[in-house]
Structure 1
């Protein structure tokens, strides 16, 4: 449905987007994910035709639309803010969206269909100022979908909503996207939003594409240190290969065993970054440390109770901080001696 080839954007001497390429298949929900200023919104705006690319091309359904005006690309766009016309009713906002795409005025059934889809049928005669922020966002989606575009572009559409409403809206957006079966490209800096909603995530950093793939693939198999550190939480160890049988890395005061199928010959002599996700770390009292591989004793330096779990930071004797999840029903206190353990298969190598 969408193919971006070598897309680049300079603002004067500032390189905002650096040779970015990716594909999105028909019906996929894809997300451009990265920190503020990484070029993701600029990329989205070039796809929409709102920003002219310095070089590179945008293809929709196999056709190069790089020089096509935005209103001729058959793209639905939802901005960070609702961007509804305040003097128009909800119905008039949708009707205006149809008009701008060249549809005639006789589309009452189409308008009714999408108002029902976003659960706003009872508010058709209301003006935006009479609606809550979440309701305004629903109308923005309905207006972007009512003329049934080839692709829907979402520019941080949940900005400004509280946490509970954000979670409700992202579930609704995904359900609507699947019901309509519209190819969607979203932009966000929120990792949980990207991982929970997307079929494909394209991670960007400093204007470049770092890695693209399914959420689980990026989380479990990051190809760069940036992806490993940006997506979710991890404990990082740095060291060099110290043994081959079993595969072992010396990281400061720790000897960390790797999975037995790791090709250490390829890694021999290299400096490695090892990452372990907190859900892969087991914790116990220091007295119960079982002495199996990758078991280290440290001191609890921070505890945060999050209702369903406790999040612990455990400082080892070389000042490495290990992040682990504990049972919220257990009591942990700063200063407690605690053992952390993780299996060799739980170690990701970058």
Structure 2
């Protein structure tokens, strides 16, 4: 449905997007994920035709559209803010979109269908300023979908909503996308949004693609340090590969045992960065023997109770900070001596 080839965008001397390429199959929900200023919104706006690329091309359904004006690309676009016409009612906002896209079908039936889909049919005669922020977002989605675009572009559409509403809208967007079966490209800096909503995630950093793939693949098998650190929390150990056959990494005075299954090109003496996700670390309320595999003593320096779990910060003997999750905070208080343990096959190596 969508293919971006070697997309590059300069703003004067500033390189915003650097030789970016990716493709999205029909019906997929894909996300451009990265920190602010990484080029993801610029990429979306080039795809929409709102700005011109310096070089590279955009293809929809196999046809290059780089020189096609936005209104001829049959793209639905939802911005960070609702961008509804304030002087029009909800119904008039949708009808205007149908008119501008020369939609051939029954306009009344189409408006009713999509307002019902976003649960806003009873608000058809309301003006935008009579609606809550969440309701305005629903209308924005209905307006972007009502003329049945080939692809839906979402530019951080949940910005500014409170946590509960963000989660509700996140689930609803995914449900509507699957019901309509519209190819969707979503832009966000929120890792939880990207991981929970997407079939495919393209991680961007400083205008470049770091890695792309299914959310599970990116979380469990990051290929770069940036992806490992940006997607979720983790504890990082840096060290030297002692033996590629064993394999063991020496990090300071400790040895980190890892499981590579032969899937590494590193050789003895190479510097390796390892990451352990907090959910993979077991915390024992009584210190264990440091001689056990990947078992280290430390002291709890912070406990954050989050309702469904406690998040612990543990300082090891050499000052290394470890982040771990626990289902209970009982007997795990600040200052307590504990030990942490993790299995070799749970260690991520980059």
Shift of 1:311: 0.3
- Deviations along 1:245-270, one digit per CA (max 9) or x if unpaired, are 53111011210111162467733221
- Deviations along 1:81-110, one digit per CA (max 9) or x if unpaired, are 000011111000000011111236951001
Tell me the residue number matched to 1:39.
Answer: 39
Tell me the residue number matched to 2:222.
Answer: 222
Shift of 1:330: 1.8
* Cα distance in 2, alignment partners of residues 156 and 199 from structure 1: 17
Tell me the residue number matched to 2:271.
Answer: 271
Asked whether 1:73 is paired with 2:73, we answer yes
* Cα distance in 2, alignment partners of residues 174 and 40 from structure 1: 20
SS at match of 2:203: strand
Within 5 Å, which residues of 2 pair with 1:168-207? Answer: 168-207=168-207
* Cα distance in 2, alignment partners of residues 178 and 6 from structure 1: 29
Distance 1:333 1:191, change over 3 A: same
Is this contact kept in 1: 2:240–2:269, CA < 8 A? yes
Tell me the residue number matched to 1:261.
Answer: 261
**Could you tell me the TM-score, scaled by structure 2's length?**
0.97
* Cα distance in 2, alignment partners of residues 25 and 283 from structure 1: 43
* Cα distance in 1, alignment partners of residues 139 and 263 from structure 2: 54
Asked whether 1:304 is paired with 2:298, we answer no
Q: Which moved more, 1:62-71 or 1:106-115?
A: 106-115
Tell me the residue number matched to 1:83.
Answer: 83
* Cα distance in 1, alignment partners of residues 28 and 261 from structure 2: 34
Shift of 1:186: 0.4
* Cα distance in 1, alignment partners of residues 133 and 345 from structure 2: 45
Distance 1:290 1:248, change over 3 A: closer
Could you tell me which runs of 5 or more consecutive residues in structure 2 were left unpaired when the two chains were aligned: none
Q: Which moved more, 1:1-10 or 1:326-335?
A: 326-335
- How many residue pairs get aligned? The number is 350
* Cα distance in 2, alignment partners of residues 238 and 160 from structure 1: 37
- Deviations along 1:272-325, one digit per CA (max 9) or x if unpaired, are 000000111111023455853100000111110000100001111121111100
* Cα distance in 2, alignment partners of residues 290 and 274 from structure 1: 19
* Cα distance in 2, alignment partners of residues 106 and 247 from structure 1: 66
Is this contact kept in 2: 1:247–1:264, CA < 8 A? no
Shift of 1:326: 1.0
Tell me the residue number matched to 1:338.
Answer: 338
- Deviations along 1:100-127, one digit per CA (max 9) or x if unpaired, are 1123695100110000000001000011
- Deviations along 1:202-257, one digit per CA (max 9) or x if unpaired, are 00000100000000000000010000000000100000112345311101121011
Within 5 Å, which residues of 2 pair with 1:136-175? Answer: 136-175=136-175
SS at match of 1:307: coil
Distance 1:105 1:96, change over 3 A: farther
Distance 1:303 1:192, change over 3 A: same
Could you tell me which runs of 5 or more consecutive residues in structure 1 were left unpaired when the two chains were aligned: none
**Could you tell me the TM-score, scaled by structure 1's length?**
0.97
Distance 1:106 1:266, change over 3 A: closer
Is this contact kept in 2: 1:286–1:297, CA < 8 A? no
Is this contact kept in 2: 1:246–1:260, CA < 8 A? no
Distance 1:72 1:162, change over 3 A: same
* Cα distance in 1, alignment partners of residues 113 and 69 from structure 2: 28
Within 5 Å, which residues of 2 pair with 1:91-130? Answer: 91-103=91-103, 106-130=106-130
Tell me the residue number matched to 1:209.
Answer: 209
Q: CA RMSD in A?
A: 1.4
